[in-house]
Amino acid sequence: MEIFSVLSEPSYVAVAVTALCFLLALYSLLRSFSLPRRFTPPRKHHCDCASDSPSVAAAAGAVPYLNGAAEMLEPSPVPAPVVLGERLTGSSMMEELVPEITTHALSYLDYPSLCRLSMTNSLMRKAANDDNAWKALYHKDFTLEQDSITPTNGWKAYYAATRAIVNINTEFFNIVRDKSLPAMSRFWLNADYVKCIHASGELFSGFNAVMQSWQLVFNWEQGLNFQVRDVRARVLADMAWVTMRTYVDMDTGPFNVTNVFEFHNGRWYMVHHHSSMMNGDVDHQIVHG
């Protein structure tokens, strides 16, 4: 005979109630282990006795009153420990990087990319406008010679001014290739102190004499195909000069070239050009402006 056949209906009820009580007790036990313990601040103590002197009460951490009685200060609650591994609320990965790492990362960007990055959001604009980032970009694109200078308006403005001068200097050689006398006349400052020294060594002084010299150069039948290398620029408030080497498709060898510019009425004008033959043939890397 099965065991359930000997049990009466009240026995079933007792077994069910016992099992339910056991489950409730087990649930309460598990819940007590899973909940964190709460911090219970110490009770506030009062001192009913009068202190002999305010200095003693102050030394004991109490606040003296006018009548000499003192009350103990309630201890400040202990702050919760800060978890170093957790990221600050609302902060991004860029904000948590060391500034040197951010500058090094931005140094791999070129000029257009750095400008586009500054237009994304306020955080990227702050990072992209960092002076050290533009200094690193200047050294990468132009030269390391001016590492010790401190630009008045920062390295970003100095980079933009240098880039503008390099582009204007490139425009000068494009005019020479095109043999355009009207463009050359607009490129030079119309002043009596401008000077031009061609590779022949002859000096031309004054705007009209300089334009006549370029007319003679452009009338030369042979084409002017050359490469510009080792471009170095220095920019001041209203004056800039560019040095470089030019290699012409001739057997005469490379030339040392210096161009000087002045800033007038919102634009740069050439005021001096000097070209001279360089002795020896030294191989240099081409610098693309």
Please indicate, yes or no, if residue 112 is contained in any of the structural domains. Answer: yes
**Do 272 and 172 have their domain in common?**
yes
Nearest to 216 by CA among 184, 174, 169, 263: 184
What confidence score (pLDDT) does residue 101 get? 75
Q: State the residue range of the domain holding 214.
A: 155-277
Same domain, 170 and 245: yes
Residues 174 and 212 in one domain: yes
Is residue 174 located within the same domain as residue 249?
yes
Q: Please tell me whether residues 170 and 270 are part of one structural domain.
A: yes
180 and 132, same structural domain? no
- Integer Cα distance of 270 and 185 in angstroms: 10
Residue 28, domain member (yes or no): no
Do residue 109 and residue 191 come from a single domain? no
Average pLDDT, the chain: 74
pLDDT of residue 192: 96
Q: Does residue 205 have a pLDDT over 60?
A: yes
Residue 114 to residue 135: CA distance in whole angstroms: 13
Distance CA 132, CA 154 (A): 9
Task: Give the pLDDT band of residue 265 (cuts 50, 70, 90).
Answer: very high
The domain boundary, picked from 85, 115, 142, lies at: 142
Q: Quick: pLDDT tens for 93-106.
A: 655 666 667 767 77
Q: Is residue 60 part of a domain?
A: no
**How many domains in the chain?**
2
pTM of the model: 0.59
The answer, yes or no, to whether residue 68 has pLDDT greater than 50, is no
In a domain, 37, yes or no: no
Residue 176: name the closest of 221, 217, 210 by CA.
Answer: 217
